Structure 1
Amino acid sequence: MEDIEFRQAMGKFSTGITIITTEDDGKPHGMTANAFMSVSMDPKLVAISVDHKTNMYEKMINAKKYAVSILETSQEDISRLFAKQMAGKENFHFSTFHNLPVIPGALVHLACDVVQEVKAGDHTIFIGEVKDLAMEHQEEKEPLLYYRGHYNALRR
């Protein structure tokens, strides 16, 4: 099968959008990711997948901790910014949660310690133990979704 065919097939699976953040040498770093999932309730584990070719990969190897910000529908521009589709990442104003940079206004923030790294092809899966979480309690906010190469929202 061709790469494009595989990408199109995976695009048929709707995902939420997160920004994965960490700090390296006192500087915040982030990337947009839809390769995020819950792994375990006991202990509370999540996993993210990071391409070896990205700048974030080295930051993750060094930091051994990360935060996940689950974006809401009004944060599409922030997702594009951290997906390298817009200039200005270096001027972004992060909030802080457990000494990690996070995205202000996100639906959820998770602070994680890396407990396992699994090499998987051209990516590494970073399994993180969730040390704490914070949730936005505004019921009218909904998650930003990604489907077939486009941003979307829930439709009821």
Structure 2
Amino acid sequence: MNKFDSRELRTAMGRFTTGVTAISWDHDGEPMAMTVNAFMSISISPPLLAVSVKDASRFHRQITEQSQFAVNVLSQDQADISRHFGGSPQEGIGRPFSYRDGVPVINGAIVSFICKAENIIQAGDHHIYTGAIEVISDIEELEPLIFFGGKYFEPAQGVVSR
């Protein structure tokens, strides 16, 4: 039995600083997206990444093994896009997509990884999707959007160490 409740766990996990990504995919000719911060590189050779999404998400209902999707690393100017695809509709977002190799990617992202879903693993109330990276979009020299403690941040102007 856990000695904490779900709110305490959520608060504790929120103390870990992350970048912000949005996954995008095509469903019946319509571009779709959702914000996720549970993203990681798994392997360089072969090139693999992973994202974790809630079981109740559209992504989970629509993406199966061998489906294509993109992971878009959002820039510091894309907090509204993150909020919009995180479930809080924002005015003026419209459809910030273009298609690359048949997959919608988010315009203005730092980089987009186009993947093919390889493995789907159930983990509690989420599923972890491993994606074989097929294409890397142009890498833009932009600052990342950062998430910490339930808030968005921009990078500080100093480098702590190299």
- Taking structure 1 as the reference length, the TM-score comes to 0.92
| RMSD, matched Cα | 1.8
How much has 1:136 moved relative to structure 2? 3.2
Unaligned runs of 5+ in 1: none
Rg (Cα) greater in structure = 2
- 1:151 aligned partner, one-letter code: Y
Matched with 2:101 is 98
Matched with 1:125 is 128
**Structure with greater helix share of residues:** 1
Change (3 A) 1:3 1:113: same
Matched with 2:13 is 10
CA distance in 2, matches of 1:86, 1:62: 29
Deviations 1:54-78 (A, max 9, x none): 1221122377221011000001111
8 Å Cα contact 1:38-1:46 kept in structure 2: yes
- Choose from 122, 134, 139 the match for 1:136: 139
Runs of 4+ aligned residues of structure 1 deviating over 4 Å after TM superposition are 87-90
How much has 1:147 moved relative to structure 2? 0.2
Give the length in aligned residue pairs: 154
- 1:154 aligned partner, one-letter code: P
8 Å Cα contact 2:65-2:120 kept in structure 1: no
Say if 2:42 is the partner of 1:39.
Answer: yes
- Give % identity: 36
How much has 1:90 moved relative to structure 2? 9.1
8 Å Cα contact 1:105-1:136 kept in structure 2: no
Say if 2:87 is the partner of 1:81.
Answer: no
